[in-house]
């Protein structure tokens, strides 16, 4: 969303209607022409293009990290509230983001760890910024917040690669100039991130 002004500047004749949701997009009705999915499975019966890869990293506010003495101390993570996207990919993933990270990073989490789930990853990030807990951040989506220190990575070097990728999906028969312009722009923005 922060870069949409660039698209509006370069393509003033193209109108965008942006919807968010976790359900599969119905391209047959509702005037939807393009969808971006984050998943480890490519969309069925759709034309798709790879947009970008992703990695995950625990993030929290500097205040939360200080309060819980997290800087470089993984053991203290057990005393924290874990924030996550419950629907991170096509199936109800519950706390799969944290499970995936802990397995790849070889970190044991407490079996009954306090957690808070959201239906969108950005809500988990907003909660982390507001000192609610430690969120599982998608690195490309939290980079600016890390740069301006709204968030920090309390465990440097603990970033893990996601099996999931971002895909741009369209109906194969719907390759219109305005759609192609938006796809080119999305890919350019992804390359720059």
The CATH number corresponding to 55-163 among 3.30.1490.100, 3.30.70.260, 3.20.20.70, 3.40.190.10 equals: 3.40.190.10
Q: Output the pTM of the full model.
A: 0.85
Same fold, 4-18+32-53+164-192 and 55-163: yes
CA distance 64 to 128: 8
The predicted structure's pLDDT at residue 70: 97
pLDDT, one tens digit per residue, over 99-122 is 889 999 888 887 768 999 998 889
Tell me if the domain spanning 4-18+32-53+164-192 has CATH number 3.40.50.300. Answer: no
Compute the C-alpha angle 47/49/50, nearest 5°.
Answer: 145
- Among 31-35, 60-64, 67-71, 149-153, the range scoring the smallest mean pLDDT is 31-35
Q: Assess contact for 47 and 170: CB atoms under 8 A.
A: yes
User: Does 133 or 192 have the greater pLDDT score?
Assistant: 133
Question: Taking all residues of the chain, what is their mean pLDDT, rounded to a whole number?
Answer: 87
Sequence spans of domains, the chain: 4-18+32-53+164-192, 55-163
DSSP line for 23-42: SPP-TTSTT---EEEEESSP
d(CA 108, CA 134): 15
Q: Tell me the pLDDT tens digit for each residue of 51-76.
A: 999 999 999 999 999 999 999 899 99
């Amino acid at each position: 969303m922060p870069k949409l002004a660039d698209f509006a500047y370069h393509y003033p004749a193209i109108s965008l209607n942006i919807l968010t949701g976790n359900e599969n997009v119905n391209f047959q009705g509702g005037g939807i022409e393009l969808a971006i999915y984050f998943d480890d499975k490519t969309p069925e019966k759709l034309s798709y293009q790879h947009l970008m890869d992703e990695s995950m990293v625990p993030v929290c506010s500097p205040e939360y990290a200080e309060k819980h003495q997290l800087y470089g101390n993984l053991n203290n993570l057990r005393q924290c509230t874990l924030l996550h996207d419950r629907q991170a990919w096509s199936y109800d993933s519950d706390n799969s983001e944290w499970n995936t990270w802990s397995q790849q990073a070889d970190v044991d989490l407490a079996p009954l760890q306090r957690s808070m789930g959201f239906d969108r990853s950005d809500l988990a990030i907003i909660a982390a910024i507001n000192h609610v807990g430690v969120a599982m951040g998608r690195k490309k989506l939290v980079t600016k917040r890390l740069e301006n220190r709204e968030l920090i990575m309390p465990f440097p070097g603990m970033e893990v690669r996601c099996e999931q990728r971002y895909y741009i999906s369209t109906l194969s028969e719907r390759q219109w100039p305005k759609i192609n312009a938006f796809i080119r722009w999305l890919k350019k923005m992804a390359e720059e991130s």
